[in-house]
């Protein structure tokens, strides 16, 4: 069977086209013509556009600025031209579809053309965000630097953070590692190797309890002699207290900061020490690194940077025989921020639990070991010599469920935002934390899907039945 050419198909369609199709065609042709005229006028004013760009922000006698203005103008006019070409091609495809050119044996051709147009348009529009890299080189697979390799060993036991808390900024001479840490390590290496960091990449809508917690331990300002504001040096120990409560045992930053950290953040006990000094160098096989992912760390006795250990950090899991129950969150935060309070000896509990005494002053701490640790499932083995509270320094959420020796137990909110459970008897215990979302939203969704399928089936059956009757 001979198929009509494009011209014949369009003519035959036009002869039978309805009022709407004709109006749509004329309107589309008018829009295309207006777009072409606008592009020609815009491109003809290129010199005026360059002059305007130089005047408002790219002016001066610097040739680089002049070149920048020309590049911006060329790009803008070029993008308008690309719009015109793609608009014309899209209208042509739609016209052929409406005219029925892709019916029958040409249907596959039409589908291929539409798919190719979509891929070309979307690929070109998103080209600046399509970044390719060698994942083995980026994540140092098989050649992981010893600093990150050290941190990935049992990462659930300790957290890591950058040694300078906000709003302190890294001195310019150390900015290279600051960028390497905050862009490559924190956003790529740490998630890839399951390293748990206190530093958050993005948190545009933090929950209220986290905001309260951060505010309680943030650096504070006071009036400076010159009339401005400066950081209150007495607030520096609050940073160490935050690292202590959040199980942040390891820190990274310039090696020379260790003395300042001990003097300002931990003036009484000096619990910051250097584990390994290192230097930032190019990865093997790269002579002139141009990107951060081409840099790595190698140990060096006099390196500019260091992996610090804060020996005062609380363990991730700890058994307490001393506790205080207080449902006043503000009072608990104030107690935690009080440097006279020792969180290594006493845990604060915000959850009223009937079997839990309000206070305890026993001095018989137990021990705790890990059976398994996963994002939504943590199993611990605890040994106690008296009724105790097991603290797990992971964020509290009411959707967590906990069992002790296979029996459901009350989940406690400890130290304002951490998880815990009461162990009422001495001896060996298996403590199982599991994160479980409520099933009701799932049931609602499944019910909606089933109703939708039933309606579709009813409509299909009704249509078939009418057709059968009419036949």
pLDDT (tens digit per residue) in 349-383: 999 877 788 777 777 778 999 999 999 999 999 99
Q: From residue 340, give the alpha-carbon distance in Å to each of 90, 331, 346, 349, 380.
A: 72, 14, 12, 18, 30
- DSSP strand pairing (347-349 vs 322-325): parallel
Question: Tokens for 310?
Answer: 């804060």
Mean of pLDDT over the chain: 91
Query: Tell me, what's the pLDDT at 465?
Result: 72
Question: Tokens for 361?
Answer: 């002053």
- In angstroms, how far apart are the furthest CA atoms of the chain? 97
The string over 401-431, giving b where at least 16 C-beta atoms fall within 10 Å of a residue's C-beta and e elsewhere, is ebebeeeebebbbbbbbbbbbbbeeeeebeb
Query: Tell me, what's the pLDDT at 6?
Result: 86
Instruction: Give the CATH number of domain 317-435; options: 3.30.1490, 2.60.40, 2.40.128, 2.60.420.
Output: 2.60.420
Q: Would you say 198 and 248 are in contact if contact means Cβ atoms under 8 Å apart?
A: yes
Q: Would you say 250 and 198 are in contact if contact means Cβ atoms under 8 Å apart?
A: no
How many angstroms from the chain centroid is the CA of residue 69?
A: 35
332: burial class by Cβ within 10 Å (0-12, 13-18, 19+)? buried
Predicted confidence (pLDDT) at residue 343 exceeds the cutoff of 80:
yes
442: burial class by Cβ within 10 Å (0-12, 13-18, 19+)? exposed
Give the pLDDT band of residue 130 (cuts 50, 70, 90).
confident
For 200-233, write each residue's pLDDT tens digit.
Answer: 998 889 999 999 999 999 999 888 888 788 899 9
Ordered by start, the domain boundaries in the chain are 6-129, 137-310, 317-435
Instruction: Work out the average pLDDT over 322-332.
Output: 94
Query: Tell me, what's the pLDDT at 356?
Result: 82
For 172-209, write each residue's pLDDT tens digit.
Answer: 999 999 999 999 999 999 999 999 999 999 888 999 99
For 263-314, write each residue's pLDDT tens digit.
Answer: 999 999 999 999 999 999 999 989 899 899 999 999 999 999 999 999 999 9
Q: Name, in order, each residue with C-beta under 8 angstroms of 235's C-beta and a sequence gap of 6 or more.
A: 218, 219, 220
Query: Tell me, what's the pLDDT at 265?
Result: 96
Q: From residue 447, give the alpha-carbon distance in Å to each of 65, 339, 457.
A: 62, 54, 15
Give the pLDDT band of residue 62 (cuts 50, 70, 90).
low
Predicted confidence (pLDDT) at residue 65 exceeds the cutoff of 70:
no
Predicted confidence (pLDDT) at residue 464 exceeds the cutoff of 90:
no
Predicted confidence (pLDDT) at residue 66 exceeds the cutoff of 60:
no
Predicted confidence (pLDDT) at residue 61 exceeds the cutoff of 70:
no
Instruction: Work out the average pLDDT over 11-28.
Output: 91
Please give the Cα distance from 178 to 253 (Å, whole number). Answer: 8
For 237-252, write each residue's pLDDT tens digit.
Answer: 999 999 999 999 999 9
Query: Tell me, what's the pLDDT at 55?
Result: 85
Query: Tell me, what's the pLDDT at 105?
Result: 85
Give the pLDDT band of residue 1 (cuts 50, 70, 90).
very low
């Amino acid at each position: 069977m001979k198929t009509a050419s494009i011209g014949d198909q369009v003519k035959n369609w036009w002869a039978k086209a309805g009022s709407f199709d004709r109006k749509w065609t004329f309107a589309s042709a008018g829009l295309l013509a207006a777009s072409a005229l606008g592009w020609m006028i815009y491109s003809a004013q290129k010199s005026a556009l360059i002059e305007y760009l130089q005047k408002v922000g790219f002016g001066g006698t610097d040739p680089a600025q002049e070149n920048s203005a020309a590049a911006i103008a060329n790009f803008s006019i070029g993008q308008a031209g690309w719009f015109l070409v793609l608009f014309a091609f899209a209208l042509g495809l739609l016209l052929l579809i409406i005219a029925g050119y892709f019916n029958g044996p040409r249907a596959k051709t039409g589908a291929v053309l539409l798919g190719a147009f979509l891929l070309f348009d979307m690929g070109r529009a998103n080209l600046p965000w399509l970044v390719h890299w060698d994942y083995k080189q980026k994540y140092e697979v098989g050649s992981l630097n010893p600093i990150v390799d050290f941190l990935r060993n049992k990462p659930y036991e300790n957290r890591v953070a950058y040694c300078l808390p906000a709003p302190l900024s890294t001195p310019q001479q150390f900015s290279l590692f600051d960028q390497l840490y905050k862009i490559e390590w924190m956003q790529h290496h740490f998630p890839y190797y399951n390293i748990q960091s206190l530093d958050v990449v993005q948190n545009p809508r933090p929950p209220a309890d986290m905001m309260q917690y951060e505010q309680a331990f943030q650096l504070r300002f006071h009036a400076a002699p010159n009339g401005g504001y400066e950081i209150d040096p007495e607030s520096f120990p609050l940073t160490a207290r935050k690292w202590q409560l959040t199980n942040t045992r390891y820190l990274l930053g310039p090696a020379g900061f260790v003395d300042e950290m001990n003097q300002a953040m931990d003036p009484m006990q000096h619990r910051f020490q250097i584990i390994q000094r290192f230097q930032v160098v190019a990865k093997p096989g790269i002579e002139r690194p141009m990107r951060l992912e081409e840099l790595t760390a190698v140990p060096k006795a006099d390196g500019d940077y260091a992996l610090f250990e804060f020996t005062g950090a609380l363990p991730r899991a700890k058994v307490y025989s001393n506790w205080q129950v207080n449902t006043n969150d503000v009072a608990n935060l104030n107690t935690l921020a009080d440097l006279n309070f020792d969180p290594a000896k006493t845990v604060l509990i915000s959850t009223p639990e009937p079997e839990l005494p309000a206070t305890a002053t026993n001095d018989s701490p137990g021990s705790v070991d890990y059976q398994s640790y996963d994002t939504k499932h943590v199993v611990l083995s605890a040994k106690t010599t008296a009724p105790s509270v097991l603290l797990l320094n992971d964020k509290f959420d009411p959707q967590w469920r906990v069992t002790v020796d296979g029996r459901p137990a009350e989940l406690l909110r400890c130290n304002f935002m951490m998880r815990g459970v009461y162990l009422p008897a001495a001896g060996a215990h298996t403590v199982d934390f599991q994160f479980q979302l409520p099933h009701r939203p799932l049931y609602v969704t499944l019910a909606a899907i089933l109703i939708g399928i039933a309606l579709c089936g009813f409509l299909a059956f009704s249509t078939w039945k009418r057709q059968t009757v009419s036949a």
